[in-house]
Amino acid sequence: MNTTGSNGVMQNAAAVYEKSRASFNNFKAWVQLDSTHLSDGRQLAVKYFTVAVILFFAQILFGLLAATQFIFPGFLYEILDFNVNRMIHINAMIVWMLFGFIGSVYWFLEDESGAEIVGLKLGNIAFWVFTGAVTLVVLVYLLVQIGPGKDSSLWFINEGREYIEAPRWADIGIVVVILIFFYNVVATFSKGKWSGIAGVLTLDLVALAGLYLAGMFYMTNITHEQYWWWWVIHLWVEATWEVLVGVIMAWSLMKLLGVRRKIVQTWLYIEVALMFGSGILGLGHHYFWIGTPEYWLTVGGFFSALEPIPLVAMVVHAVYDAGTHAFKNGNHPALAWIIAQAFGNFFGAGIWGFMHTLPQINIFTHGTQWSASHGHLAFFGAYATINIAFFYLAIQQWRGNVWMGGGSQNAWRWKWALGLLNGGVLGMTIALLIAGYEQSFIERAVEGSTWGGYFTAQNHPSFQHAMGWRLFFGCMTLTGFILLVWDLLTIGKGETRKAPAIIEN
Amino acid sequence: MIEPVALEDFFITFFSSALIILAGASYALLFAWSKVNPNFRIKIAAYISYAILIISVAELTQAAQFQGYWLIISFVMAIGYFFAPIGIWHLCVKTHADQDLIKIKEDI
Amino acid sequence: MNETPLWASESFWKKMAIWVTAGSFLILVVLTMDSLSKTNAGSKRVPAYTVINKKIDYQYDKTLHKSMPIIGENEFLFGKEYTEEEARQWVDLGKKTTQAKNCMNCHTLLGNGAYYAPDLTKAWLDKGWISRDMREDMMVKFLMDPESNARTYGSNRKMPNLDITEQEAKGIIAFLKWMSSIDTNGFPYNFKTIEAEE
Ligand code: HEM
Ligand code: HEM
Ligand SMILES: [Fe+2]
């Protein structure tokens, strides 16, 4: 390469760099966020939240691409195939939720322990390593996509296992990052003070990280492989994640509504008992048809029939608290999203889960859009909502604990974002429910799940219409998301009133 | 051993399953509400919810062709969902037993 | 009402949470050990990899109230009988290839995965391969060049070319054949195999 050429490139690069720095500065001037309002620990938390929001966007974008391919199969064919889009869609979901959870824990860690975060520097390094690794993994998904049938593909490209596709090197990286996070949690509580919340959190994190290890091995025997794969997926979302949300909720109830610590902790223990008591053996509802013994039909059917109980208990308790606490709350969007969580979890996991969990009907719904219907409402209702609530809690403090209660400026934005996001996901859920019903009927029951039967069901007008509606409601979800981001960036800007302090008694 | 749901019973299976959880939750809520607000009509509504739950359990038992030990699930649901809300309610009351009023301080 | 009874106290529920969790987990561990040992390759439920040397079918069993895999007489794959180790290597290559090519984000395997393409649980036995004589050949061709050999059943949905080599295609077929012999408690229901009389 000659010198003038490389000089030109250098100059161009410098110009691009200058330009992006200038626009970044403009952006900073526009949002007017002042990080001095946040403690060092909370500054780390909002970094996690920022990446979570970006990955949430990636989730929605690639979901829309995949949904479009259901209607126009030629769209991006052999450029970004359905499996690539879908992999990024669900992987981005898992990772953004984990980022959100880690951020939430960092958010309340100092407050709950009464001490400054012990390994703040380490925590920051871990954040950048994690973010860098996620970027690299996504780039490889997009650019390399697949490899030959060798171990090296599983180590460096992807493992080809739904939800935990990340290549092996990234698995190890994730474990290291989680260990650093775990160290920070434990060391900070040890330096400050332990509490019931701290204890449950610590044990839950041990379980959460330990379960991930169960999904890191290659096995030829697909029955064994799927057996362990479900340990990760099910025992994450129906046990350890639920309890993690319980911990986050417990802390929020104390801070937002001023509920007493003793009550909150008693209820946390009740939830843990009910959740783990039903959820651990509820794992059996994934062992009906993968080659495992017949007793799982009974174990899975029975215990997953119990799984809605903790969710009912939570709703009742929430109403009880709301009824007995004449509370005044200075963060309406956060509270609204917390209420959305209670309902979303109850409907998505409790009702949608129970409808297809008994083996007598699951033999027909298994592996159809029915699962997707349940998956969307449950993941969104139980986990997206609570993370969004925390984004609002964070932005309120970032602005200097301003008033975000009734009579705020531009309140229509968060209300519309709430409505569009929930309405969009609910609309997609209903569309997929219709598709899944038709599929289990025609493909599974009548035609006996042959390839011909599969396509008969896919070509059926009711299925095709459902796919159209899913795309429509997907676009509605995207609109809600855009509004949400706009609102998060602007809410409380120029607000001078302070939020009322809520004292735990 | 299970007997898969018959084709014509698909809808009723989904419907009654959903209704069990919904009716269970509304029974629990109405029961709790009737305790906070001792109104006769709320109590009646709570028991109507429970009646719907029982009917749904019966429907599901038929549609999903429960037999033998599977019937235990039906019994557990019928009895469990009757007592669980009462238990949850008492828990709510007792865990909040020595609660004072919440203090909210306007501004700092 | 100013004291908290034992059953509503924090310490009681703390103990409950610990005992319930520990108890459930212990039961899960016991069931896991039992299930894993009953599903080793070579067990009654999950046949040895050498099952690829045999004819496989899937038929409704009236006394058991469910469809069961039927393992019949010799029916070699690609005209050759494989030893225990060779069979394992073929299935292993196939399994690894399905992961490296990310099949599971379009298809379901044992009913788990994505819903953009047909279930692969009993793909080996599917009527779509027309006859037993044509099956192996058709499958190799399809996997290596799905675009030209697409059978979309009028859906326009085509499998993309995944650069599958002939060796990998054969591995996948061995894997699919082996998977179709697993006892899946009657899933899929009402499936009519390529062996079934019209
Ligand atoms: C927040 C909690 C929950 C989340 C996030 C969740 C999410 C999911 C997802 C994503 C799947 C699809 C997995 C796949 O890709 O194959 C799934 C499957 C399933 N879920 Fe849940 N779920 C939750 C709670 C529940 C509960 C409480 C029940 C039962 C009452 C339940 C019953 C089932 C069943 C039976 C399946 C298997 C579907 C099949 O046969 O393919 N889930 N869940
Ligand atoms: C714009 C909005 C969205 C669109 C268009 C969309 C579209 C899709 C598509 C096409 C699939 C593949 C289903 C298949 O294999 O046939 C999928 C899977 C999935 N999506 Fe979404 N999605 C959207 C938003 C979300 C959100 C907000 C969540 C949760 C927070 C979510 C969670 C999931 C899950 C868990 C699966 C896997 C389901 C399963 O395997 O059963 N999606 N989505
Ligand atoms: Fe599950």
Of A330, A431, A418, the C-alpha closest to A376 is A431
Would the CB atoms of A149 and C100 count as touching at under 8 Å? yes
Q: What angle do CA A117, A118, A121 make, to 5 degrees?
A: 90
pLDDT (tens digit per residue) in C120-140: 999 999 999 999 999 999 999
Interchain CB contacts (distance < 8 Å): A and B: 134
Question: What local confidence, expressed as pLDDT, does residue A326 receive?
Answer: 54
Non-local (6+) Cβ contacts of B106 within 8 A are: A500
CB of A431 closer than 8 Å to CB of A470: yes
Of C112, C116, C104, the C-alpha closest to C172 is C104
Mean pLDDT of chain A: 93
pLDDT (tens digit per residue) in B12-25: 999 999 999 999 99
The two three-digit tokens of residue C7, written as one number: 């059953």
pLDDT (tens digit per residue) in C28-71: 999 999 999 999 999 999 999 999 999 999 999 999 989 999 99
- CA of B99 vs chain A CAs: smallest distance (Å): 8
Nearest CA, atom 24, ligand 2: A60
pLDDT (tens digit per residue) in A40-72: 999 999 999 999 999 999 999 999 999 999 999
Mean pLDDT of chain C: 94
For chain C, report the end-to-end CA distance as a whole number of angstroms. Answer: 75
What total of structural domains would you count in chain B? 1
Phi-psi region of A158 (alpha: psi -120 to 50; beta: other; left: phi over 0): beta
Domain that holds residue B36: 7-107
Would the CB atoms of A451 and C96 count as touching at under 8 Å? no
Q: What ipTM, to 2 d.p.?
A: 0.97
Q: Report the predicted TM-score, pTM, of the whole model to 2 decimal places.
A: 0.95
Q: Assess if residue B13 is contained within a domain.
A: yes
Q: Assess if residue B14 is contained within a domain.
A: yes
Q: Assess if residue B1 is contained within a domain.
A: no
Of A434, A330, A337, the C-alpha closest to A388 is A337
Mean pLDDT of chain B: 86
Nearest ligand by distance to the CA of A242: 1
Q: Assess if residue B2 is contained within a domain.
A: no
Would the CB atoms of C16 and A273 count as touching at under 8 Å? yes
The two three-digit tokens of residue A27, written as one number: 């952006």
Q: Judged by CB atoms within 8 Å, which residues 191-210 of A form the interface with C?
A: 196, 200
* Ligand 2 pocket, residue C115 CB under 6 Å: yes
pLDDT at A390 over 90: yes
